[in-house]
Amino acid sequence: MIDRHATGMSVRRRVLGDAHVDRAEAQKSAFDAPFQEMITETAWGTLWASDAITPRERSMITLALLAATRNFDEIPMHLKACANTGTSKEDVMQAFMHAAVYAGVPCANHAVKLARQTYAEMEGEAE
């Protein structure tokens, strides 16, 4: 039997990085612990752990879906994870352009703005 939590933590650390996961774990409370466990087991231990598609493809899909559903708060975290999944800036732009056609230019435009800001922060520049 697969230990989805252990698998999820391993994949989560590989994709998001130890520093991010350590911060999230340190901030976990008794209230949100069940939610964190569910995310670790389902999103990371099942979905992201699957080898049906590559981590690069999974990052692109995730970013396009986040833009399309206007879940903008999650975009910077997943942009930073692209460095660990082999997802290039060009891949990210393609995902957002796809979202623009199928979900609307305004949501994709905001996602692109967030990407520019996030990349500038990652490169140590202020935009």
Q: Are residues 25 and 78 in the same domain?
A: no
pLDDT at 62 (0 to 100):
98
Query: Can you give the residue range of the structural domain that contains 112?
Result: 54-127
Residue labelled with tokens 């590989």: 14
Please indicate, yes or no, whether residues 37 and 85 belong to a single structural domain of this protein: no
Residue 126 has pLDDT above 70, yes or no: no
13 in Cβ contact with 23 (< 8 Å): no
Question: Of the candidates 20, 15, 4, which has an alpha carbon nearest to the alpha carbon of residue 55?
Answer: 15
What's the CA gap between 110 and 96, in Å, rounded? 10
Are 12 and 52 in contact by the 8 Å Cβ rule? The answer is: no
| 110: three-class secondary structure by DSSP | helix
Mean per-residue pLDDT, 5-19: 97
Whether residue 84 sits in one domain with residue 42: no
Residues 64 and 126 in one domain: yes
Place of tokens 């891949």: 91
Rounded distance between C-alpha atoms, residue 97 and residue 77, angstroms: 19
- 32 with 79, same domain: the answer is no
The pLDDT tens digits for 39-64 are 999 999 999 999 999 999 999 999 99
Of 12, 34, 52, the one marking the end of a domain is: 52
Same domain for 48 and 80?
no
Number of domains observed in the structure of the chain: 2
Condensed to tens digits (0 to 9), the pLDDT of residues 81-124 reads 999 999 999 999 999 999 999 999 999 999 999 999 999 999 98
